[in-house]
Structure 1
Amino acid sequence: MAIKLENVAIAVRDLEAAISFFTDLGLTVLGRDTVSGEWTDTAVGLDGNHAKIAMLQTPEGQGHLELFEYIHPEAIETEPTLPNEIGMHRVAFSVDDIDEALETAAKHGCRPLRGVATYEGVYKLTYVRGPSGILVMLAQELKKN
């Protein structure tokens, strides 16, 4: 059986704010739609499912991120995911310049949870709390001499 990862989907409080954050980091919007009806009720397992969605793509074209904002039923707010919590954890991106990526994130009010770390001289990386409390890992590969 062949299998291929299609996308990661994340429910957000404000679709426009989330799109702005991720497009400023370099993703592009492939498309937008509003979905509802029997097929979405069946697929998602939620009666009355009605949502605005946007599909984004990473610059190299391989990674896809689906963002969706519920119109109905009303979205349920929970505490933001903690780094050690079981379940959907974070979305991670490699970046050419972590300082530039953090400047971009800061324009959206998003800052590192603690700071920027260096992993064994290979990566500089950090987690930021993105829009709607999404954990976003940013990692810059360090050049070898």
Structure 2
Amino acid sequence: MGRSADFDAFYDATSRRVLHQLYALTGDLEQARQCTQEAYARAWRQWPAVSAATSPEAWVRTTAWRLAPGRRIAVKRPAKRPSTRAARTPGGGSADLVAALRKLPERQRYAIVARLIAGAAVADIATETGASVATVENRLAKARATLARILPDDTAVLTGGHRV
């Protein structure tokens, strides 16, 4: 396959999943769409290097997350009630879960979304974030504990049947 066909296949296989992950990270569907679109545009421009990466999908997810405007500020503000628009999540995800994720500190939120929604291994998250495996495990434990307190039992299930 040529460069274009390889990228097209990658985009088709991953773009919806990355959009869902970005929505879970940002809590804003339009922002998630814009950041995801720009991350894929950057991946296209750098496709030879991106396609050689250990996980091109992780590269796109990390790039999209770094593009999210005000992501640090959003963590410090109290979470807003989901609007009617926010409640319509990609793939029918839970607005309650997204609101709960927004209450986590940024690094915990990234770790839990990458692990439980994206299915990334702890070692891969450590590489993506420049943290040690022990630090990522600690962030995951804290995120799970916080989410368990915030979410009622019936909404504590994440993608793939993982309990928080």
**What is the TM-score when the length of structure 2 is the normalising length?**
0.26
**What is the TM-score when the length of structure 1 is the normalising length?**
0.28
More strand by share: 1
Larger CA Rg, structure 1 vs 2:
1
